Structures are given as C-alpha cells and as structure tokens.
Amino acid sequence: MKNKSKHAKRNISPSLMQWRFVIVVAVILLVFGVLTARAAYIQIINPDRLIQEGDSRTLRVRNNEVYRGLITDRNGEQLAVSVPAKAVWAHPPTINDKKNNAMGDKRRWQALAEVLGQDVDKLISKATDGKRKFVYLQRQVSPAMATFVDKLDIPGVHLVNESRRFYPAGEVSAHLIGFTNVDDKGIEGIEKLYDEWLSGTPDSRTIRRDGKGRQVEVLQEKKGKQPKDIQLTIDQRIQAVAYRELKSALHYYRATSGSVVVVDVNTGEVLAMVNGPSFNPNNRKGVSPHRIRNRAITDTFEPGSSVKPLAVLSALEFGSAEPDTILDTSPGWKRLGGSIVRDLNNYGKLDLEGIIQKSSNIGTSKLALSVPKEYFLDTYYNMGLMSDTGTNLIGERQGLFNEQRRWSDFELSTLSFGYGLTVTAMQLARMYAILGNEGVKQPLSIVMSDEQKITEQVISASNANKVLEMMQSVLEEGGSGRKARVPGYRIAGKTGTSRKAVKGGYGEQYVNIFAGVAPVSDPQVAMVVLINEPKGDLYYGSQTAAPVFGTIMASTLQLLNVPPDAKRVSSVAMQGGANQ
C-alpha cells in the first residue's frame, strides 16, 4: 500500500507542472499574438497614423520669401513696393503650460500690450485661448516694435516674417493705385484690378530632419509663381503737380471735391488722374469710404457748356453750317415748346467762333436743331460720351443718357449745352483727346502696353482742327477762359458751369469745369479740371477751374518738353526761308 501511495504522488506532481507550463506558454503566445496583430494593424492595415506622426516630427516645408510686384509710373518711379515686416503671434498651449511660467511676470505682458497698442486683458485672453494653437496678436509691426517684442522673451510669443505694402506717393496717387489688406491681397484700385498679376507664390522644398534638427534629405522641390511688375502710363511728376494745385484750389474755394485728368492725345495714355479730398494709403485708420472713391471715374455730372463744341462740330460735319455762318441770337432768349432757352446777355449776331467764345445757348440750340436728330445724337456717341473709356478701371461708370424715341426741340436744345446727360471727368477728357487727335477715337489706357490699339476716325480731321481753332477764342479777350492762359502756348478750351440736379429741379450747388487741349499748333495734351460745389461768390468755371487748368497745363507742357507755339512758328518760318 505504501508503494502505491508513493507512486500516486509521483504521478500527480508532473501533471501540475505540465499545466503550469501550458498556461505560461499560452499567455506568452497570446501576448506575442496581440503584439503581432497590433503591429500588423499599425503597419499593414492602418499605417497612416504612425507615418503622419513620424512625418510631423521629421518633415518640414521650407518656403523662400516672395514679395508682391512693383507698381511704377512711366518713368520707373516706384508707386507701390513691398517691404519686409514682422507679425507677432502666440502659441496658447505653451503659454498655458505652467512649467513655462509664461504668465509669471505680468509686467512683460503689460509692456507687450502697450507697444502693440492693445488692452492687456484682451491681449492675454487672446493669447491664452485654449481652443487654438496659433493666433496672431499683431500683423505687420515695425522693425522697432519687433525688436522690442523679441527682447521681452515671453514664452509662447513669437515673430514670423511677412511683407507690408508701402506707397511712396502717399495721397497723391492713392485713388489710382489703391491698396492691399493685411494679407497682401489687393482690395482697391490697380492693386485689386491686377491682383493676380502682382501676386506670386514662393518656391518650396519638403525636407526631412534628424533628431537634432539637421536636414538629411530633400524629398520634394516645387517651383512657385514669380510676381510681375506693372508700369503705368502715369507721369508721377505731372500727377504731383495736378494734386498739389487741386488740393490748394479745393481749400481756397471751399469746394466739396474735385478731379483732374490729363491725357496724351496721340496715344490715349492717361498721364495724370487725381482726386480730392484724398487719403493716406499707408495709414487708413479712420478714413471714411467716400474719401477712397476714385471720383474721376465714378462720379457723374452734367457737363454744361464744356460740350458746346459738339453742337458746332455736328453742324460742320453735316454741312448745315460753315465757319463763317452767322446766326442771330437776338433778343437773347428763345421759346421752344413751353420752355424758354436763355443767354446771359443778348449777343446779337455771332459766327461759330463767337458762339463758342460767348458760350451762347441760343447759338448752340440753333445749330443742334439744324441737323437731323439721329445725326446730332450720334455725335455724342462717336465722341465717347456714352461708353466706357477703355481704362478697365474698377468702378468706372458710363454716365447716364436717356435714349428715347421722341425728342422735343427743347430737349435737343438743352442737350446741346450740356444738360440731359451725365458724364465722368474721364469721359470728358476722352472727348477732348479725340478733338486733339484730329478726330481719331481710341481707348484710353492706364497701363503701359505694346499692344496696338483699335482706332476709328469718327470726325473729319479738318473739322476737328477748325473747332480747336475756334476754341482758342475762349481764352482771348471777350472769352470766359482767360485765366486758363499759358504764356507762349495756344490753348483751345471751354468752360462749363452746371447746376446740380435736386428733387424737383435744380438746386444752388454748382459743378465747375474747364477742359482743353494744348498746344493748338501740334496738340499733345488734353486736360479736364473739375471743381465740385465751390462755396462763396466764385461759382463759375471761369473763376475756379480755369486758373487751376492754366497752372497745371503750364507745368505739364514744361515737364514734357513741349516747345511753345511761338518757337515752333519761328522754326517753321526759318526753314521756309532757307528753302527759298
């Protein structure tokens, strides 16, 4: 029995050891199985997460800095440039981490708030926003501010490179050039119109770094789009003179606003376009929207007597009048239907030149009614008063012209002296450029280009020259534009004074205009000066716009090296004598 008991004990002991071994092996195999399954899941079934985590630690994209393209005038003068700047940004997780003690010294936050011009509590609230990992505290700070922020050395507050747009011409060319927003995207003027052209994208390289941050591999290189520069037709010298004189005139006459447009009659290139009041594009804080508007292309007005040469031109073109045709304007008024057309005085008998010089409403009315209605209206279309000018500027308006099936004699009469339609200063400048270019119509341009323009002969060269010769009388004794004279040059011009329309009729506010071409012997420049709502006793174009025109035109002709008419005539006479 004892032997059997001992034998049983020997049999039981190995059995327990076997089960323990099996359990251990099973556990080990299970662990390895789980690890293998997990590894297979991570590396085969769903490897993206680990790859992403690894790449986030080792991959970096390096971009080179790219700046917005330059805007220059026709002579290469810089009108818009991009300069390096810094942006202050915060990393809320770092700031909120108590280990960094970023909020330990409140004095540094107070100093940061003061240099950024912000409230310290609002600044801290923004920088500690737990929902965000990146937040701008201030964009486009000056170099001095950036240096100060860097020296504060606040954990979680950093600087990053960016660029800032700078406009050397300031308020002189603000309406034309426009400006960009804080993200360097054009939102007004040329900056907006050619935003895609001026913008670029940087070259980028995707690299892999080692644990010490050193570059070990270049994985990808991508070529960016280089920004392009734009050269305008503007001559900044003329632009500066025009703005200076306009600004002075608006202050002297206490006018609401004004515009000046200068055009090269031979090429259709706009040499100057200024408005007042203006604004500083480098600091637009507190600038009201009405100051940003480019009035030369957006604001329309009834041109008044400045379009009276079209009545003369229409009659000459149709053949209902000749330069020596005499019209009787007595007794200084005329009834048309149920309305009366009046002159300021009874001018009696006038030839076509006299009608322009005296600005006779009766004279232009008779000329307008001497041609077929369709022919007379076509003259306005042909001279570009009913269409866009071709500059393609943002916000340009075409004015207002109420085309209708039936026109009364009185309506045609008022159209002949500039009522019943509205135009912009740019449209009026184009009309005078056509006169100066011997009747050749072409689109105006604001950007330099080698493309051939489409031109059209809309009136005969001889009649265009005849009207220019007649318009010289406006600046002579007895004319209304004597204050627009330029010594040594023959100027063809016309004043315009129109009352502004109000509900139910016309009010007591005026638009003053002087438009002209110079020099008559070889036209080079067309110019329009508009003074809107002058205050006080001076409210005629001859009193306000004409003197400004004369001053700007004198400087323009000098800057363009246009020889005086007197020298030109002497030179021709000398050549003729030598040839004989």
Residues acting as catalytic residues: 305
Cα–Cα distances in angstroms (integers) from residue 197 to residues 18, 71, 191, 235, 278, in the given order:
82, 11, 9, 22, 26
DSSP for residue 307? G
- Asked whether 481 and 546 are in contact (CB, 8 A), the reply is yes
Q: How many helices (H) and strands (E) does the chain have?
A: 21, 23
- The answer to whether the Cα torsion of 408, 413, 419, 423 is positive or negative is positive
Secondary structure of 380-448 as H, E, C letters: HHHCCCCCCCCCCCCCCCCCEECCCCCCCHHHHHHHHCCCCEEECHHHHHHHHHHHHCCCEECCCECEC
- The answer to whether the Cα torsion of 146, 151, 154, 159 is positive or negative is positive
Q: State both tokens at 237.
A: 């010298």
Start-to-end Cα distance in the chain: 165
Can the peptide bond before residue 303 be classed as cis, meaning omega within 30 degrees of 0?
Answer: no
In the chain, the amino acid numbered 286 is G
Cα–Cα distances in angstroms (integers) from residue 273 to residues 240, 242, 416, in the given order:
10, 8, 27
- Asked whether 84 and 165 are in contact (CB, 8 A), the reply is no
Reading phi first (left if > 0) and then psi (alpha if -120 to 50, else beta), residue 22 is in alpha
Can the peptide bond before residue 331 be classed as cis, meaning omega within 30 degrees of 0?
Answer: yes
How far is 396 from 427, CA to CA, in rounded Å?
10
Lookup result for tokens 């420049």:
525
Nearest CA to 159 out of 208, 205, 91 is that of 91
How far is 333 from 227, CA to CA, in rounded Å?
63
Q: State both tokens at 458.
A: 């809309």
- Contacts of residue 393, defined as CB under 8 A and 6 or more positions apart, other chains included, come to 189, 193, 294, 297, 446
Residues in the chain, total: 580
Nearest CA to 400 out of 417, 387, 382 is that of 387
Q: State both tokens at 354.
A: 């006299």
- Contacts of residue 423, defined as CB under 8 A and 6 or more positions apart, other chains included, come to 300, 301, 303, 385, 399
Judge residue 452's burial from the number of C-beta atoms within 10 Å of its C-beta, 0-12 exposed, 13-18 middle, 19 or more buried. Answer: exposed
